[in-house]
């Protein structure tokens, strides 16, 4: 028996990790013997997490331009003199200072006049 098979047997049979096998004597019934209540379905027009525009976020092309240049976040951060966390936040559309935008533009090899096309703002 392999190590994985041994671990699986110790976890409780052939069930995948994280799944608890249903008990045959109580499956589909509540404690008083009545059938289980139906679970309500989610409204169809509800947005999933991450969909739609979130407040405080600005659309920008930083990730697209970085990927076109085959540059990692760490490399862009190093060239711009910023942290990778800052690059991640900017790529997610979080607001940042004008100086941060200037550093990112220079690290991508762009001029400050490209700010409007990259960040989409008129500040």
Residues 77/83, Cβ–Cβ less than 8 Å: yes
Distance of CA 25 to the CA centre of its chain: 40
Other beta carbons within 10 angstroms of residue 103's beta carbon come to 19
pLDDT attached to residue 34: 67
Q: Residue 46 corresponds to which tokens in the numbers above?
A: 């509800």
Handedness of CA 51, 57, 61, 65 (dihedral sign): negative
pTM summary value: 0.55
| CA gap 41, 26 in Å, rounded | 24
pLDDT tens digits, 40-67: 555 555 444 444 455 667 789 999 999 9
**Is residue 33 scored above 70 in pLDDT?**
no
The CATH class that applies to domain 62-119 reads: mainly alpha
**Residue 120 falls in which region: left (phi positive, over 0), alpha (psi -120 to 50) or beta:** left
Backbone angles phi, psi at 78, to 5 degrees: -65, -45
pLDDT tens digits, 62-71: 999 999 999 9
pLDDT attached to residue 57: 75
């Amino acid at each position: 028996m392999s190590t994985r098979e041994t671990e699986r047997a110790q976890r409780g049979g052939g069930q995948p990790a994280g799944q608890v096998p249903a008990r045959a004597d109580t499956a589909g019934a509540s404690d008083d013997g009545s059938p289980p209540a139906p679970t309500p379905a989610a409204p169809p027009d509800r947005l999933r997490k991450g969909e739609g525009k979130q407040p405080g976020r600005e659309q920008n092309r930083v990730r697209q331009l970085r990927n076109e240049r085959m540059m990692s976040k760490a490399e862009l951060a190093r060239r711009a003199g910023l942290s990778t966390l800052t690059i991640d936040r900017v790529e997610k559309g979080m607001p940042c200072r004008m100086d941060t935008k200037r550093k990112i533009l220079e690290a991508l090899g762009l001029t400050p006049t490209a700010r409007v096309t990259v960040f989409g703002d008129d500040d």
